[in-house]
Amino acid sequence: MVQVIVPVTHDDMEEVMSNDTSKNPEENVSTFYRVCGGRIPINLFIISVVSILLIMSCFCIWIASFTVTKQVIEGLSNDLIDVNGEKITSYLNTFMDPLGKLSKSIAYDYNNGIATTSNFRTYLFPKFAEFKTSSCGYFFAGPPSTKYTYSTAGSGNKTYPVYSYQPPGFIGTLRDTINVTTGVVTKYNSTVDLTPFYTLDQDYYNSTIILSTQLGIEGVYGNAYKPYGSSMAIYHSSKLYDPVQYKTGKKVVTGVTRVNISLQNIVDFLSKIVLIGKGFCLVSQQNGILVGGSINTLTPDGNTNLHIYNLTERDAGQLMKEISVKYGDLNELPKRITETVNGIGYIISHYTYKIDNLKWNVYFVVYQEEVIASLTMTTGISVGVAVTVMIIGVIVSFIIGFIVSKPMKALERQFELIKVLDLDTVNIGNSVFKEINSIFGNLKTTVQWLKEIKSFIPEHVFEQLINSQTIEMEFGSVNIKKNESFAESKHSMGTTNDGVSHADLESRIHSSKKGGGSLFQMGLSVKQTVVITCQLKGFFSMEQPSDIENGFKKIMNAIGPITKVYKANLQVLPKFALQLALSANSPGEQDKLIEKSVELAFKLAKAINQVGPDFYPRIGVSCSKARVGNLGTKTSRYYTIVGACVVDSEKLCILADSFNVNVLIDTSCCESLQADIARKFILKPIDKIKKEMNNSSIETIYEVFGEKNTDNDEWLYELENSKKNNAFAEYYKAFDVFSADFWNGISQSEIKKEIDHVLGVFQNYLVRHPEDITTERLISILQPCLNISKMEENSIPIILSSYYSSFDCSYAAFTNVGDVRALPLDI
C-alpha cells in the first residue's frame, strides 16, 4: 500500500533531546547561571523580598481582620434583630395573654353561676374599666337572641362609654350612657337601635364555636381589624354553657363572650422600633393584612390597614412580593434570608408570634449596605494601614539594601583594580558585618601577596590585562548574537521541516515525555484513518516559476487555517498534489471522524475555488483501518500510514478529475455515519465501482455536491434550498435502479416504465446541469434497456443490479450479464 510519510530529521531529534532537561541537569544549571548570573542587583533582590513579605503579611492580616470583623458585625446585627424580636414578642404577649384570660374568666364566672343576667351590669363594668377594653360582654344565641356588653360609642375624639344590651324579645339594641369612672348610668336609653340583631348571624359567634371545637380549646382570638375612625383592635371569644347543665358535667353551648381591646399601643410601640440605618419591622396577620410596623402601614386616608404587598414606603411591598415569588408562602419563610430588589440588597429576618390559635408574622428588614458599612470602613482603614506599612517597608528595604550593598560595591571596585593588578590604588576598608569584614581581611592579605608577586611580572602583561576588559566585552556580545542566531536557525529548521508543524512536534514531544519513553517510539499501531488526496489543477499550464510560487502560496494561505483547525496531517506530494490524514486516537473520536473529514474536504475545495479561476481542486476521500506509526532507525525516523485508504483516496482523486467534480467519497465514508453525512451534505451518487478486480465487493461512489443549510431565517432562501435538496433526493432515489432492492415487487410489465421514469429524472437533471458527465454516462447505460425485447425484459433487473465499473489503467463500465455496456473512460 502507498504510505504517507512525515520525515523527522536528525537535527530535529538533536533539538528534541537538547530540550529534555532531565537528561543533563548539570548543563541546565550552568545554562541558568549563564543566563541569569550577574543580572540581579542585590538592592533589587532585598527590596523585592522585603516587599513580597510585607505584601503577604499585610494581606494575611487583612484577611484575618476582614473575616473576624465580618463575623462580629453580622453577629451584632443578628443579635440586635433577635433582641428586638424578643422585645416585640414579649410586648405582644403583655396584651394578648390578659385579653384571653379576661375572656375566659368572665366565661368561667357565667358557667359557674357567679355572673347572672341580674348582675351583668355591675359584674362587667370593673372588667371593662380596669382592663381598658373597648368592649366586654356576653352574647347569647337564644332564642331569643340577647346580649349584654360594655363598649365605646362614637368615633375619633368624640367617644363615650355605653352599656349595650338586648333584652329578651327586643329585636334591636338599647344603649345607656355611663360614667367611665363609676359606671353610673348618666342617661338611660340614650340610643335605641331598631336594627335587627341576631347572635346566630354574627361571624364572631360562629367562628368561635367552630374553631374552638376544632382546636379543643374554650376560646379563640379573632383576626385583627380596624373599625372606621378608630385604631386597630382584636377580640377574644370564649364559649358559654348553660350553668344548670354545666354543674352536672354537660356542656351545652348557649353563647359566647367577646372582649375587644385596642391595638393602638402595639402600633405605637412598633412605630418606635429602631434598627440599623433605614431598617424597619413589620407585623402582619397570616392573611397578609398588616397590624403595624416602624413604617407607614395605612392607606393615605388613614382608615384602612394595607396588605403587606401594597406597602410603598422603602419599596417594602415590592420586596415582600419578590420574596413570596422566590420562597412561596410568607408564613413559612426561613428565619434569615437575603434578597436583592432593584439592585438593593436586603437581609430579612422572620419570627412568628403564636398564642392559642393566633399566629402573627414579625419581619425585620435591614439593608446589606448599612450592615457592611462599618465593615467597609474597617476594610478601608486596614488597606490604608497596609499601604502605609508597605511604603515604610520599601523605604526601610532601600536603606537595608544600601547598607548591605555598600561593602559589596566597595569590593566590586577593588576587584576591578585587582583584576588589572593596579594594586597601589586598592583601598580596602572595614565593615560592621562580621562575614564581610572577614572577606576584607583575607583580601588585604591577598593584595599584599600580589604586591610581592607583581615585581616578577613583565610590564607588557599589565597592558594585556587592561585591554582584556574590552576584548571580553566584545567577545561576550558576539557570543550572545551567535547564540541568538543559532536558536533562530534551529527554530526555522524545526518549523520548515516537510510535513511536521511546530505545534505538532511539540504535541508529540509532550506525549512522549508523559509516556516516559523515546520521543518518537518505533512501530505501527492500528487506527481508524481517513486519507484525503487533493490534486491541484491549474499549475501545469504555468510556465514561469514565479507564477507557480505565487499560486501555491495563495493556496496554502487559503487552506492553512482550515487544516490547523481540523488538525490534519498535511503532505505535499509530487505533481502538485496534497495528501491529508486524520486518525482517531480514541473511540470517542471515531464517531465524528468521517463527518469531520468530509467537512474538511468540502471546505478545502471551497477555499481553493475561491483563490481564483486558474485553480480548481480534485479531491478523493476514503476511510479504513490503517497502520500508523514511525519506521526507521534511531537517527532517522519516518511517520508512515499503511492502509487501503491511501490508495483508494488516490483513485478517487483521479476519478474526480475524470468526472470533473470537486469531491468524491466512497462507501467507506457512508457506512457508519450515513445519516449524519446525508443530513449535513448533499450527496450525489456517481457510479458503482470495483476498486480491485480480485475483490468481489462493489461500492458506490458519491460526489459531495454541497452543504445543506436549513437554518436560514429567510423563508424564500429556505424554500429554494429545500427544493434543491429534494431534487438531489429524487436523483439519489433514481440511482437505486442499479440495486437489487429497487426491483423487489416490480412486475415485468412495469420494468420499462420504471426505467423510463428514471431516465426522465436523469434527463431533467442533465438539462439543468449540461456539463455533468456522470449523468450522461448513466443515461447511455439505461437507454439500451428500453430496446430489449419483451421476452428478455426479466433480465433487465439482473443486468442493472450487477452493473459496476472497474478501475485499472483505463476506466470502463460494464455489466456481468447482457449486452449493455457503459461508455469507456480513459484515465
CA distances from 214 to 207, 219, 252, 543 (A): 10, 11, 16, 107
Asked if residues 326 and 341 have their Cβ atoms less than 8 Å apart, the reply is no
pLDDT for 81 equals: 86
pLDDT for 139 equals: 96
* Three cell numbers written together for 630: 514511525
pLDDT at 459 over 80: no
Mean pLDDT (the chain) is: 80
pLDDT for 714 equals: 52
pLDDT for 35 equals: 60
Asked if residues 626 and 529 have their Cβ atoms less than 8 Å apart, the reply is yes
pLDDT at 710 over 70: no
Say which amino acid occupies 230: S
Higher pLDDT, 248 or 794: 248
pLDDT for 493 equals: 37
Look-up: residue for cell 367611665? 180
Q: What is the mean pLDDT of residues 425-450?
A: 82
Q: In angstroms, rounded to a whole number, what is the distance separating the alpha carbons of residues 686 and 662?
A: 12
pLDDT in tens, 623-666: 989 998 778 887 776 778 898 899 889 999 999 988 889 999 98
pLDDT at 420 over 50: yes
Per-residue DSSP letter, 633:
-
Per-residue DSSP letter, 374:
H
pLDDT at 433 over 50: yes
Asked if residues 365 and 348 have their Cβ atoms less than 8 Å apart, the reply is yes
pLDDT for 6 equals: 41
Instruction: For 586-680, list the strands marked E by DSSP.
Output: 616-632, 637-643, 663-665
Q: What is the mean pLDDT of residues 139-157?
A: 88
pLDDT for 509 equals: 42
Asked if residues 317 and 304 have their Cβ atoms less than 8 Å apart, the reply is no
Angle at 217 between CA 214 and CA 222, to 5 degrees: 80
Residues 6+ apart with CB under 8 A from 323: 330, 333, 337, 339, 348
pLDDT in tens, 348-374: 999 999 999 999 999 999 988 887 777
Higher pLDDT, 397 or 519: 397
pLDDT at 675 over 60: no
Task: Note the helical H segments in 420-458.
Answer: 434-454
Long-range contacts of the stretch 70-77 (C-beta < 8 A, 24+): 70/372, 70/375, 73/371, 73/372, 73/374, 73/375, 74/371, 77/276, 77/347, 77/366, 77/371
pLDDT in tens, 720-749: 566 666 777 888 888 888 888 888 878 877
Least confident of 118-127, 263-272, 498-507: 498-507
* Three cell numbers written together for 221: 382570638
Least confident of 48-57, 424-433, 582-591, 806-815: 806-815
Higher pLDDT, 38 or 47: 47
pLDDT at 492 over 80: no
CA atoms 315, 321, 326, 327: torsion sign: positive
Q: Which of 17-31, 171-185, 481-495, 805-819 has the highest mean pLDDT?
A: 171-185
* Three cell numbers written together for 529: 484513518
Residues 6+ apart with CB under 8 A from 650: 2, 533, 620
Q: Which helix (H) or strand (E) holds 721?
A: helix 715-734
Least confident of 146-160, 483-497, 566-580: 483-497
pLDDT for 220 equals: 95
DSSP β-ladder status, 336-341 and 290-293: unpaired
Look-up: residue for cell 450525489? 684
pLDDT for 827 equals: 41
How far from chain centre, in Å, is Cα 197? 68
pLDDT at 542 over 70: yes
pLDDT for 721 equals: 60
pLDDT at 199 over 50: yes
User: What domains are defined for the chain?
Assistant: 1-7+499-708 (3.30.70.1230), 116-263 (3.30.450), 273-371 (3.30.450), 376-457 (no CATH), 713-827 (no CATH)
pLDDT for 10 equals: 40
pLDDT at 22 over 90: no
CA atoms 561, 565, 571, 573: torsion sign: negative
Q: In angstroms, rounded to a whole number, what is the distance separating the alpha carbons of residues 188 and 175?
A: 7
Of 138, 134, 132, nearest to 106 (Cα)?
138
Q: What is the mean pLDDT of residues 165-175?
A: 93
pLDDT for 818 equals: 46
Question: If pLDDT is split at 50, 70 and 90, which confidence band does 162 have?
Answer: very high
Q: In angstroms, rounded to a whole number, what is the distance separating the alpha carbons of residues 349 and 273?
A: 15
pLDDT for 240 equals: 95
Question: If pLDDT is split at 50, 70 and 90, which confidence band does 784 have?
Answer: confident
**Cβ atoms within 10 A of the Cβ of 403, count?**
13
